A = this chain, B = another copy of it.
Amino acid sequence: MIRKPENLPECLIVLLARMRADQQNEDKNGSHARKNLVWDFSFVPLSRVIVMNNNRGNIMKKFKFATLIIILGFIFSSQLYAKTAIIIASFGTTVPSAVQSIVNITSRVKAAFPDTEVRIVFTSNIIRSIWEKRSQSPKEWIKKGIPEEILFTKNLLSTFGDLKSEGFKDVIVQPTHLFHMEQYHDLLQYVNAIRSIKTIRDKWKPFNKIAIGRPALGTVGDIYPYHDDLKLAVKTFANDVALARQKAAALVYMAHGNEVWSTGLYVELQQLLRETYPQVKIFIGSVEGYPGLEDVKKNLNHYTPKIDKILLKPLMIVAGDHATNDMAGDEEDSWKSVLSKAGFDVEIILKGLGSNNQFADLFISHIKDAAKVSGIAL
């Protein structure tokens, strides 16, 4: 969002520094002599003082043309206002069709905050390295519908570096993670690290404020209880439930999970889904961690009358590699194969949660909350 700069002299410094740079450049080429006559009047001595003084306490004392500058400053500074940026941080995906889910979230965030810069970050080094390779033939990928911001996506550190260079002062990092588990914990470490940078003088801090939005299903703590977040999230599953009902199918979600952080939350989510949508039988299993495919299969077999048909869908932001292969692949250990072999009629829905607009909008709400808690104007 464009706001009034808190620190006018600083943005003037940048303004003047850039002007001076142009001018030096021009000077060397002996051109624009006439313009220099004018600039020399005010800027040659001034910009020198300014550029040099960026480490000096007594800047303002030397300003001989302060009034002139302030007038000029207000004219030119509209594009130099203190600025806020939003970083949408995903693990990332290499599957071109899966990119759409992340693009959808990003587009909706951009539409919700039209005056705020929005950047996409992929946190996985490996996934980024694949896109970097692809970006060497950019036209081909853009033709396939991959946006440039995906093709040239950077990591979080580089993006913070860019935002600093471009003069952004407040940053909100919004992960597309499902819950506060490993991925979110690690992202939080990065954000806390950048946030911990305290310079001797406040004005040289890389950023004023850095906020982090909570994952779709919430986070630990009592500011925004995750039980409430679960309830809001569960509402966004209504269409899946309706489809399952129409098809007289049980609804099975395949989550990612992990082995290093308790995934018991999936059971809580499953319970809440069941309570909210008693008309359909709902199951959540996890590629890694508890409850696994075997648990799901056992539970599916537990019912009388027997469950015949299953709608199988990823409980992931993107329908990427996991969804395409682990879930819907033809290999004999895929979820589709295992459940089919167990006698169920399996229908695949190859769509990430990011493609669900209501789900995607949870992140918009979390961005707003993060901004509010951190005192960032949006």
Closest residue of B by beta carbon distance from A321: B52
Q: Which of A14, A190, A220, A262 has the most CB of B within 10 A?
A: A262
Copies of this chain in its oligomeric complex = 4
Q: How far is the CA of A24 from the CA of B161 in the complex (A)?
A: 31
CB distance from A202 to the nearest CB of B (A): 8
Q: Is the interface of A mostly helix, strand, loop or mixed?
A: helix
| Residue pair A54, B126 in contact (C-beta under 8 Å) | yes
A326 and B52 in contact, given A18-B129, A18-B133 (Cβ under 8 angstroms) = yes
Residues of B within 8 Å of A21, CB to CB, are 94, 129-130, 133-134
| Residue pair B164, A161 in contact (C-beta under 8 Å) | no
Q: Is A174 an interface residue (CB 8 A)?
A: no
CB distance from A112 to the nearest CB of B (A): 27
Q: Is A13 an interface residue (CB 8 A)?
A: yes
Q: How far is the CA of A240 from the CA of B127 in the complex (A)?
A: 49
Q: Number of contact residues on A: which range applies?
A: 35 or more
Q: Is A194 an interface residue (CB 8 A)?
A: yes
Residues of B within 8 Å of A52, CB to CB, are 321-322, 325-326
Q: Is A342 an interface residue (CB 8 A)?
A: no
CB distance from A314 to the nearest CB of B (A): 12
| Residue pair B200, A51 in contact (C-beta under 8 Å) | no
A225 and B259 in contact, given A185-B200, A198-B189, A326-B52 (Cβ under 8 angstroms) = yes
CB distance from A271 to the nearest CB of B (A): 7
Q: Is A25 an interface residue (CB 8 A)?
A: yes
Partner of A162, one of B14, B45, B158: B158
Interface residues of A (CB under 8 A from B): 13-14, 17-18, 20-22, 24-25, 28-29, 45, 48, 51-52, 54-58, 91, 94, 124-130, 132-134, 137, 140, 144, 154-162, 164-165, 167, 179, 182-183, 185-186, 189-190, 192-194, 196-202, 204, 206, 220-223, 225-227, 256, 258-268, 271, 287-288, 290-291, 295, 321-322, 325-326, 331
Contact sample, A vs B, 19 pairs, CB 8 Å cutoff? A14-B129, A17-B127, A17-B129, A18-B130, A21-B133, A55-B182, A55-B288, A57-B260, A58-B288, A154-B161, A154-B165, A157-B206, A186-B199, A186-B204, A189-B196, A193-B194, A200-B261, A201-B221, A264-B266
